[in-house]
Amino acid sequence: MSTSTIFPRFEGKSVLVTGAGTGFGREIAFRAAQEGARVGVHYNRSREGAERTVDRIHSIGGEAFVMQADISTWEAIRGLADEAFAQFDGLDVLVNNVGDVATEQMSWHELTQEALDRVIDVDLKGTLLMTHEFGSRMVDQGHGNIVNIGSTVVVRGSARAPQYAAAKYGLLGVTKSYAGAFAPTVRVNTFAPGFMETGATLKREDWKSGRREKLISQTPLGTIPPPEVVAGTALFLATEDASHITGAYMLADGGFNMVGA
């Protein structure tokens, strides 16, 4: 998709995307830049990936900056907030994308204390603290939007990695709690993509041994998309068109779950 066909919903705005060196975060960051945003590209370990994201944004004439932090600690989160708010002279949008999906775990039998702690520390505690720290500063500045990247795993659970389902279910409570706390100044929402063909997904053994085909057969729209297909959908929740949406859980999964009202 060329930049000329994309409406600049974030012209003059600043957007920070966590975990933007790889996968879905990379595509959200690039899409935000395509839509006119100045973009903070956060990473923890994948600096090379983050720099590639920045280079890609620069290639279309966009403005982007690399920012590093381990969001499992509040001290690091405060430092990231200091850097982001100073770099952009405030911050319009935070996309809490970073998360550990326990990719290497193929069954609940393989759960370890380390895997449990790692997922809960990043996916739940880290996102809560990011929302708390950045959201409170957005309240002080008088505006802002937070989009937490959730998962459709909250609908069906996960026999593969129960701690991942628990963390993402907890994220709904984080979103609703802070949506109430920050209203009416700052909106907080959860966006839940379904299965996407990211680099990590494509490497999984179960994905290569028939799971992909099974899931496609169960998806009414008949595709498992690459992440760029739903990056703009995630960002919708931070636009003016979504100005009356807060505390919500928005699903984009090709009809796979079709939850009832």
Taken as a whole, the chain contains a residue count of: 261
169 tagged catalytic: no
Instruction: Give the start-to-end residue ranges of the domains of the chain.
Output: 3-198+227-251
Report d(CA 231, CA 97) in Å as an integer: 11
Question: In Å, how far are 72, 130, 232 from 247, measured between CA atoms?
Answer: 23, 16, 19
Work out the angle between the directed axes of helices 162-182 and 127-141 (0-180°, nearest 10): 20
Superfamily of domain 3-198+227-251: NAD(P)-binding Rossmann-like Domain (3.40.50.720)
pLDDT at 1: 41
Residues with Cβ within 8 Å of residue 139, at least 6 apart in sequence: 182, 185, 186
pLDDT at 199: 67
Report d(CA 20, CA 52) in Å as an integer: 10
Report d(CA 17, CA 25) in Å as an integer: 6
Report d(CA 217, CA 231) in Å as an integer: 23
Low-confidence ranges of the chain (pLDDT < 50): 1-4
* Catalytic residue, candidates 43, 164, 178, 249: 164
pLDDT at 260: 63
